[in-house]
Amino acid sequence: MSKFKYGPAVFKIDYALKESIPWKDPRCLKASTAHLGGTIEEIAFAEKQVWNGKHAEKPYVLLAQQSEFDNTRTPEGQHTCWAYCHVPYGSEKDMSSIIENQIERFAPGFKDVIQAKSHFSPKMYQEYNPNYIGGVISGGATDVTQLFTRPVARLNPYTTPNSSIYICSSSTPPGGGVHGMCGYNAAETVFDKLFK
Interface with ligand FAD by CB under 6 A: which residues? Answer: 12, 84, 137-139, 169-170, 176-178, 182-183
Closest to ligand FAD by CB, 74 vs 138, is 138
Number of other CB atoms surrounding residue 123 within 10 Å: 15
**Spatial distance between the Cα atoms of 39 and 49, rounded to a whole number of angstroms:** 16
Query: CB of residue 183 vs ligand FAD: minimum separation in angstroms?
Result: 5
Closest to ligand FAD by CB, 63 vs 76, is 63
**Spatial distance between the Cα atoms of 179 and 181, rounded to a whole number of angstroms:** 5
Identify the three-state secondary structure at position 55. Answer: coil
Query: CB of residue 164 vs ligand FAD: minimum separation in angstroms?
Result: 17
Element (H, E) at 47: helix 40-51
For residue 169, what are the contacts with CB-CB under 8 A and spacing of at least 6?
Answer: 131, 139, 182, 183
Closest to ligand FAD by CB, 76 vs 178, is 178
Query: CB of residue 119 vs ligand FAD: minimum separation in angstroms?
Result: 12
Query: CB of residue 138 vs ligand FAD: minimum separation in angstroms?
Result: 5
Closest to ligand FAD by CB, 49 vs 171, is 171
Contact 183, 190 (CB under 8 A): no
